[in-house]
Amino acid sequence: MHGDPDRQKVFTRRAALLAGGKGLLLTALVGRMYYLQVVEAERYATLAEENRINLRLLLPPRGRIVDRFGVPMADNRQNYRVVVVSEQAGDVDATLDALARIIHLGDGERQRILREVGRKRRFVPVTVRENLNWEEVARIEVNAPDLPGIMIEEGQSRHYLHGEEMAHVLGYVAAVSEDEATGDPLLELPGFRIGKAGIEKVYDEPLRGSGGSSQVEVNALGRVIRELSRQEGQRGADVELTLDVGLQRLASRRIRGESAAVVVLDVHTGDILAMASTPGFDPNAFNRGLSTEEWSSLASDPKAPMINKTIAGQYAPGSTFKMVVALAGLEAGIIAPETTSTCRGHVSLGDARFHCWKRGGHGPMDLEQAIVQSCDVYFYEAARRIGIDRIADMARRLGLGEPLGLELPGESRGLLPTRAWKLATTGAPWQKGETLIAGIGQGYILATPLQLAVMTARLVNGGVAVVPRLTRRVSAAGVAVPEPGAAPSLGLTPAHLAAIREAMDGVVNGPSGTAAGSPIREAGLEMGGKTGTAQVRRITKAEREAGVLKNEDLPWKERDHALFVGYAPVRAPRYAVAVVVEHGGSGSKKAAPIARDVLLAAQQRLGTRPPVSRRDKAPGDDQA
């Protein structure tokens, strides 16, 4: 017998069911494969390609900042950085210990590296140090066999060629903070820097340029196998400033060691030729990253190296304000050039006595000699007759009391008091004694060095409302820089302006002028000007009777500010200067010699003829 027929039937039925099930599974599998390989073929091909090919953004070179002659002030230079790959290093701590014996690694740097190593995937490089010098690179390369996972990479880094001398104008770049991330992919790249201050901040976007791209082949873990294609980014725009590097450096060095500011501008175009503020700071340090100790030193310095004193410093103008008072009186018809006043060393108002700087008095003074010898009593009396509101109105026309609209951020407005201002601010009425104090540039009045330079320019250029500017050109589409057009007239009487200029000439070149010790002796390059000494503390009656201490005998913070405003050449003014030396004492002894040296250099470098085109030829061309 071949077996039970019933059992045979059961086996046959089960085999059929099993075969049918296998057939269904095979059909489903074939259908799924058809769906994936035919219907969804394009989609999965794209996904596979994206998994294999990564598109990476490349940093573009940052645009340069150059002076009026194209001399670079901020540029890029080769940057060597050392990185560590934890996958290759194995024991990262041991590798860092070995590296620290070759180059310096601070505790803060080490902690930052370890944090990044823990946060990133093991094959991703982590920056250890940037801006290595060639000696450090060589030492690392020689010791490479003992430094597993350590590699040298090459890139570009921002470099400021003149350090502190240009710091306040150019500003600096630094790493992007979380608050500054805007969604721009460039901002997310490691090592990317943006402008944080000065011109770097004002023109940050055109200076950045546009990023390039690199296609790289990676494996399933994301590790780079090879680069398939590369398109470099577009370099950022160049920014051309009105500054002259040579003049800027001379001005900065002339006030080195002081807390001071110097501004030089062209009286016809408003071009700022020098804008120096000391002490300064090293902008390259912000690029590489300041240490805690470096920042603490800058923040605690009583001379405020981070403040651009040319536009943010506010000072009582002292006797440099006397031309404003004189012009206000002349224009109002209250005084005339021949108006005289006798100086006996003081003037009384009620129970108060207002003193002249010359204890014995100057005797009879007309307007010119009052400016030449800086007689306080003459201007006490003139201010009393003119009134504070007329004085403030003239000062405003000459550029004081309001921001001048300069490109740089952080410009202060200064302060011009009026009767209405004091009532609104303090609730108290204006006092006549306050008018007398304002007549010699003290009291509530405040001005920036830039405002004082503009005031001087408007006084000597024929009463034209010239406006200062710092940018000449930006080589990027869509970034327009206004050309210096014809500035409007202030409507001042030419004879009155001539009287002021003649008096300023006498201050420097007359035998009794307060700046007679600091003339420019080169024929045709002579300067005119006005000294100023602004008190920062009130001299008590007891101190005056006992004989006031000399400035050098007082603590630095209690010494007078030294000021000077001037122009050159006398016969056909082209340049105006303002100098402020904080707590420097006498304006005639401290500030006037600085102004003399700077104005002489400006004329020798840039010539004396009025500009005839937008671009100068070269330093020293067109000299008269």
Residue 236 sits in the same domain as residue 261: no
183, 309, 332, 193: which is closest to 252 by C-alpha?
309
Q: Which residues, other chains included, contact 408 with Cβ-Cβ below 8 Å and sequence gap of 6+?
A: 169, 198, 199, 202, 308, 311, 470
Does 50 reside within a domain?
no
Does 10 reside within a domain?
no
Residue 373 sits in the same domain as residue 517: yes
For residue 197, give the CATH number of its domain: 3.90.1310.10
Could you give the number of structural domains in the chain? 2
User: How many other C-beta atoms lie within 10 A of the C-beta of residue 92?
Assistant: 19
Residue 222 sits in the same domain as residue 310: no
* pLDDT (0 to 100) of residue 79: 81
276, 239, 215: which is closest to 453 by C-alpha?
276
Does 43 reside within a domain?
no
> Which string of DSSP letters, residue by residue, matches 244-269?
-HHHHHHHHHHTTTSSEEEEEEETTT
Residue 417 sits in the same domain as residue 439: yes
- Residue ending a domain, choose from 241, 273, 295: 241
The H or E element that residue 205 is part of is helix 204-208
- What are the tokens at 409? 């951020």
Residue 427 sits in the same domain as residue 474: yes
* pLDDT (0 to 100) of residue 43: 59
* pLDDT (0 to 100) of residue 70: 95
Contact at 8 Å (CB) between 429 and 420? no
* pLDDT (0 to 100) of residue 1: 45
Does 229 reside within a domain?
yes
95 φ, ψ to 5°? Answer: -65, -40
Residue 221 sits in the same domain as residue 264: no
* pLDDT (0 to 100) of residue 182: 72
Contact at 8 Å (CB) between 149 and 176? no
Does 1 reside within a domain?
no
Rounded to 10°, the helix 322-332/449-460 angle is 40
Residue 192 sits in the same domain as residue 291: no
Q: Which residues, other chains included, contact 486 with Cβ-Cβ below 8 Å and sequence gap of 6+?
A: none
For residue 565, give the CATH number of its domain: 3.40.710.10
Residue 295 sits in the same domain as residue 209: no
Residue 278 sits in the same domain as residue 229: no
Q: Any idea which residues carry the catalytic annotation?
A: 319
* pLDDT (0 to 100) of residue 56: 62
Q: What is the DSSP letter of 148?
A: T
Residue 185 sits in the same domain as residue 274: no
- Residue ending a domain, choose from 225, 241, 257: 241
What separation in angstroms does the CA of 359 have from each of 266, 372, 547, 552?
38, 17, 10, 19
Coil/strand/helix, residue 51:
helix
Does 14 reside within a domain?
no
Residue 369 sits in the same domain as residue 224: no
* pLDDT (0 to 100) of residue 615: 45
Residue 381 sits in the same domain as residue 441: yes
Residues in the chain, overall count: 624
323, 376, 316: which is closest to 560 by C-alpha?
316
153, 154, 195, 202: which is closest to 175 by C-alpha?
195
Contact at 8 Å (CB) between 258 and 584? yes
Report the alpha-carbon distance of residue 407 to residue 306 in Å, rounded: 18
* Regions in the chain scoring below 70 on pLDDT: 1-11, 36, 39-57, 123-124, 178, 183, 188-191, 213-229, 478, 485, 539-549, 611-624
443 φ, ψ to 5°? Answer: 80, -130
Does 623 reside within a domain?
no
Does 564 reside within a domain?
yes
Residue 348, domain extent: 245-606
Strand blocks (E) in 413-511: 471-474
* pLDDT (0 to 100) of residue 6: 64
Query: Is the Cα torsion angle 124, 129, 133, 137 positive or negative in sign?
Result: negative
Report the alpha-carbon distance of residue 59 to residue 82 in Å, rounded: 18
